[in-house]
Chains A and B, each alone.
Chain A
């Protein structure tokens, strides 16, 4: 597949802007990562349990570093996404869901719960 000059420039521009947006949002995103909005809905204890179950079912993501990587990778090509919440909404819109203890969760928020379960109670 060839990439014409105009398309190349578009992608490059998006890439630059996307990187800037990611960088600018990084502290906010890190904070959001540590405070899943699921906690408000389901309570900290239940979210911790969900996180543990996710990690048990997904050994390849059983560390904070791997989970953060997976969440970042989950952002994928969506360069303008401002927050984890946007990423979660995007997961639901595109059917990227997992079932953990019966709860239908976005992949990102399941990983977020897993990350949460690794933090001190």
Chain B
């Protein structure tokens, strides 16, 4: 079922067993798990079915601390959420990502990789991946040249990526949701407040507001906030009628530990013998296409050298090419051009095609030089946080204020990664590695092109201890019996790879928990 909330009379009260706020990858995944069940589900989406600049403007926020890209460009506010523009890069978090690493302050999830394994298997089908296999040797694709580098290394290994087409949740699952007999989707239903009871231990309802000033309430037995990492935190902080610091914020943790993945060019690789060294496994063929590998540090290397988890892409090019970080390459102008290109049916080459073509190797024969681009988790940092701005949006909700901060361990880990990679490339005489100048300066100096990957994680981290995390191992907000969080906000650490596949797996696990405990 579907209703445009703007058509409801002012003061309407919606009732359900389960109310999911936000219809992105997490919200849609959870809602689908209840489709055709006796559970009455409300799925509240702030936007409509299409991109609307006015709706998107609600996501605008203040940027303080490190430079960041406009918040209204990084996440999308309509049915399908940010999957409407995600690039579809998928890989699994490794077992070490879930562990308490004594050299990484605040690390450790209250669940293990084994807890997520069955859900990863389902998540791969949801995002249309080829399989749930992740070993480099599983992806030879009948091509003898698709072999991993540094196979005997104890320090480096090849981590595989698969590419979703990319799956647009808003397109793929729209009919299923709209035709569901028990999931009722309301579009243009922006939740502006989560309302708790007087003891602030149970959510009674959420308050919905539209641009024309109408207000509604949705009541349910249980609620899942599945808006978006920054917006989930913002909504809890802004829901301060009963608890001054915001809901779930008794320990001043809501909004803290905001994390990104660093995605920055960090080095060059020169092959010793380009004809003999096979690099085909590392080629990016295209979205929805052949999986590819990236070089990554092994758990043993992370432990021995006390570093964060990182990988590097290996892409053929020319020495000294002006390789860009993700923020540089995909600025908000490029994102707009990409959206228009996609909306017009992807006619002609994508907007970045000419720029990419200029970086193609000019060598005749197998290329000797490769660009190495880092993808690395950032250390959890309580000072990296989302708070509320003094400015309010058009619906009267304080805007988000993002203060993205990093730690010395982040850069130290990046530098060590390249030192180890250089050592292993030399030991095997595969080639030599050069680090960028900025990587060799002190651990708190960052270049102007410091970049994340538009991956927003943390802010409502999981922990069994309410003093260490906002949510418990089932993504329930500590101290509030019926409020759950869907999405990457609950990640205690970021892992080295993009968050979406894990987000879908974790949402499936949350749905299972809700079914079992219902």
Contacts and interface: CB of A to CB of B under 8 A. Distances in A.
Q: Please say whether chains A and B are actual partners in one complex.
A: yes
Interface of A: 37-38, 40-42, 85, 88-89, 91-93, 95, 97, 99, 101-106
B423 A104 contact: yes
A97 B419 contact: yes
B70 interface: no
A92 B423 contact: yes
A102 B432 CA distance: 10
B440 A103 contact: no
A106 B439 CA distance: 19
Contacts of B440: 99, 102
Contacts of B426: 88-89, 91-92, 97, 104-106
Given A37-B272, A41-B270, A95-B423, A105 B432 contact: yes
B437 A104 contact: no
Contacts of A91: 426
Given A37-B272, A92-B427, A102-B436, 18 more contacts: A41-B368, A41-B431, A41-B432, A42-B270, A42-B432, A85-B429, A88-B426, A89-B427, A92-B426, A97-B422, A97-B423, A99-B419, A102-B267, A102-B434, A102-B437, A102-B439, A105-B432, A106-B426
A103 B423 contact: no
B425 to A, nearest CB: 8
13 contacts: A41-B271, A88-B426, A89-B426, A91-B426, A95-B423, A97-B419, A97-B422, A102-B435, A102-B437, A102-B440, A104-B419, A104-B421, A105-B426
Contacts of B418: 104
A38 B424 CA distance: 16
Contacts of A102: 267, 434-437, 439-440
B273 to A, nearest CB: 9
Contacts of A42: 270, 432
B18 interface: no
B433 interface: yes
A89 B428 CA distance: 7
A105 B439 CA distance: 16
B427 A103 contact: no
Interface residues of B, number: 24
A89 B270 CA distance: 16
A97 to B, nearest CB: 6
Contacts of B267: 102
A88 B437 CA distance: 24
B433 A103 contact: yes
A85 B421 CA distance: 19
Contacts, number: 56
A40 B271 CA distance: 10
Contacts of B431: 41
Contacts of B424: 92
A92 B425 CA distance: 9
Nearest to B266: A102
| The 7 A-B residue pairs with the shortest CB-CB distance in the complex, in nearest-first order | A104-B422, A92-B426, A92-B427, A102-B434, A102-B435, A103-B434, A41-B270
Nearest to A93: B427
Contacts of A103: 422, 432-434
A40 B276 CA distance: 14
Contacts of A40: 272
Nearest to A95: B423
Nearest to A42: B270
A63 B422 CA distance: 27
B315 to A, nearest CB: 18
Contact of B429 (A89, A97, A104): A89
Contacts of B368: 41
Nearest to B421: A104
A104 B272 contact: no
Interface string B203-227: 0000000000000000000000000
Contacts of B434: 101-104
A88 B432 CA distance: 12
A91 B422 CA distance: 12
A114 B418 CA distance: 23
A35 B68 CA distance: 48
A97 B425 CA distance: 12
A41 to B, nearest CB: 5
A56 B435 CA distance: 19
Contacts of A37: 272
Contacts of A101: 434
Contacts of B439: 102
Nearest to A90: B427
A38 B429 CA distance: 11
A93 to B, nearest CB: 5
A104 B435 contact: yes
Nearest to A105: B432
A91 B432 CA distance: 13
A117 to B, nearest CB: 17
Contact of B435 (A38, A88, A99): A99
Contacts of B432: 38, 41-42, 103-105
A88 B425 CA distance: 12
Interface centre among B418, B425, B432, B436 (most CB of A within 10 A): B432
Contacts of A99: 419, 435, 440
A8 to B, nearest CB: 33
A92 B271 CA distance: 16
A106 B272 CA distance: 14
Contact of A104 (B271, B433, B436): B433
